[in-house]
Amino acid sequence: MKWRMPRALVGFGLVSISACVSQPTAEKAAGIIFTAADTASSKTLKLGQSFEVRVLGTPTAGYLWDVQSLPAGVVLIAKTSRPENPEGRKQGMVGGNDWTIFRFQTISAPADLQGTAGQSLVLRYGRPWELEKGRPADQIWRMQIAVKPAG
């Protein structure tokens, strides 16, 4: 007696496999990715577009990145971090640099795009307790962003 796999299971298996194959990689899912090399630039983004800013820091020494200002029409969705050298951490290395990853979304496009000139996304890097006391940031990452209607 031969065992036969029901067609429904075969179809489900094919759908499952195709869903896995068509899943975007983490890089593609992130949309646009900006790094330290993009500081001091300007970008025009579409309404509803997501983007990330990835900057390297040393949180183990107390140095953190935070958002100092956002342009109109842009919101912070998430802030995460991951080690620059994950394998070293697995082997017991202490300290080291981490990538801070800010994920943003454009949510509105100002009616007057000329009015968005000078609106910058600004990230600052430093020890929070020193920044609170008025010490200047150790690093500033800045990008002028304008949001235009999709279409």
Is the model more confident about 27 or about 74?
74
One-letter identity of residue 136 = P
Grade residue 109 by pLDDT with cuts at 50, 70 and 90. Answer: confident
Q: Are 41 and 143 in contact (CB under 8 A)?
A: yes
Say yes or no to pLDDT of 140 above 70: yes
Q: Which residue do the tokens 């509803």 mark?
A: 48
Strand residue runs (E) in the chain: 32-34, 41-46, 50-57, 64-69, 74-83, 98-106, 120-126, 139-148
Domains of the chain: 25-148 (2.60.40.2020)
Tokens of 50: 């997501």
Q: State the pTM of this model.
A: 0.73
Say yes or no to pLDDT of 147 above 80: yes
> CA nearest 76: which of 100, 44, 98, 56?
100
pLDDT digits (tens, 9 = 90+) for 44-97: 999 999 999 999 999 988 999 999 999 988 999 999 999 887 776 666 666 778
